Amino acid sequence: MEEPKTSVKLKKAPQDDQRQQLIPGLPDEIAMECLVRVPYQFHSNMKAVCHTWQRLISHPSFYQQRLQSGTAEHLVCLVQPLPPINHSTTSTTTDDDDDPLISSSINNKILKNEDKQEEQQQQHIHCPPQYALSTYNATHNIWQRTRPPEGSRIPMFCQCLALPSSGKLLLLGGWDPTTLEPVPHVYILDLIETTGAACKWRRGASMSVPRSFFACGVVGPSTVCVAGGHDSQKNALRSAEVYDVETDQWEMLPDMIEERDECQGLSWEGDSKFWVVSGYGTESQGQFRSDVEFYDRHTGCWSKIDGVWPFSTTSPRVVTTTVCVSRDKYQWSWFLGGEQHSQQQQSREVVKVSGNIRLEIVSSIPLPNCITGTTPFVTALDYVGQEGGNHRLFVMSGGGGRGSSTLACGECEGEGAFLSDGYSNNGTIKWRHIHTPVGFSGFPYSASSLVI
């Protein structure tokens, strides 16, 4: 009679031991040390080996092990406009071409061309830009593109937000690519459970209010706050709501004190507050407020601090990022060029106190000298679990032409991207140029980073 199946935790007969081992002939501890070192882009291939590997690699504990062993990878996920399709390029593309424009961010396999792409190519002049989700792997210096949700297209100007603790990526709101109306849609990409070329997308519950150009931030392991932006009538909003990704439910929050369109959301890991920076009201479009509001989840109230954003003609969107310096000290950095940078240099004395909150300009970070635009895109790559300012900054410019700086490779379309690489002897940040293929040179509307 066949022996009944038992848990793998129980002691098995020698012949069953061999079958249950992660890698036959190796103790599981050694096998795990091998598996966690396999680059993320090959994880979908590993899941196809056997059910044991599939269950292991689809579990969050596997990625915690990668983090603890120092083998985790840093990803920057960006919502970018796709470049116009070129007849000469698409006509010579084959299934075997290594075209970065159509590579999957999950297993880097080449996607097949579809007939409808040619139709879109012929009409692209008359259509609004198409957006895509791109991924830059900062650990292995790889650019890749993710398949969109099945039957859907990436909304224009949607917000990209990562949940580091669960390996999920959210796309929220934005404009419908066809009607150009604000949408309440939420798309969730699970980077851990994805198997094969098909990305693990699911449609989340919709926001109660269609909105675009709004603030958002992660407050807690699985909670997302959104606030402000504008509706389909271009009216600036005061409304705010909170989303629990695990329960897939939205809940309305108290309205903000002020209307805020084109505002920026900020949050820090371990902090219960959600910050909304600047923005403008319906009757004052383009005149950015100097104040910020923050919502404290413990008190359930909004508070306002005046005089924080000093640039009345510049939006705080995409030019700001946050980093955690220590357990109770957080930094918010903004990156501006031209006159705005000079203005920041001349206003170093700005200090604001509200209760136990102290805001102060503590230093100035010069941009790479080849970035000439006044509003570069920036995000931070935090080294999860490490304190003491252990983070890197990713900066990308929207300037045209080919990079001419000694930092640039001279082959990128535009000025390319840069990653902070420690500090020089005089204390200034050293920047490392990142080669950016043509298909990934579009200025990011939104981005987020996570460790996988």
**pLDDT at residue number 278:** 94
**pLDDT at residue number 414:** 62
CA R_g for the chain: 23
**pLDDT at residue number 329:** 60
116 vs 163, 254, 331, 363, CA distance in Å? 34, 45, 46, 51
For the chain, residues with pLDDT lower than 50 are 1-18, 87-125, 197, 337-353, 384-389, 400-406
Compute φ and ψ for 90, nearest 5 degrees. Answer: -70, -30
**pLDDT at residue number 268:** 80
The whole-angstrom separation of Cα 214 and Cα 263 is 6
Longest dimension (CA), the chain: 84
The total number of residues written for the chain in this structure: 452
The whole-angstrom separation of Cα 212 and Cα 214 is 5
Cα dihedral 88, 397, 210, 283 in deg (nearest 10): -130
The answer to whether the CB of 279 falls within 8 A of the CB of 286 is no
Per-residue pLDDT tens digits for 269-283: 777 889 999 999 999
Per-residue pLDDT tens digits for 346-363: 333 344 445 556 666 555
- CB under 8 Å to 9, separation ≥6 — which residues? none
**pLDDT at residue number 314:** 85
Compute φ and ψ for 102, nearest 5 degrees. Answer: -125, 25
**pLDDT at residue number 111:** 35
352 vs 264, 299, 307, 308, 365, CA distance in Å? 19, 21, 8, 8, 21
The whole-angstrom separation of Cα 311 and Cα 375 is 12
**pLDDT at residue number 326:** 55
**pLDDT at residue number 100:** 32
**pLDDT at residue number 432:** 87
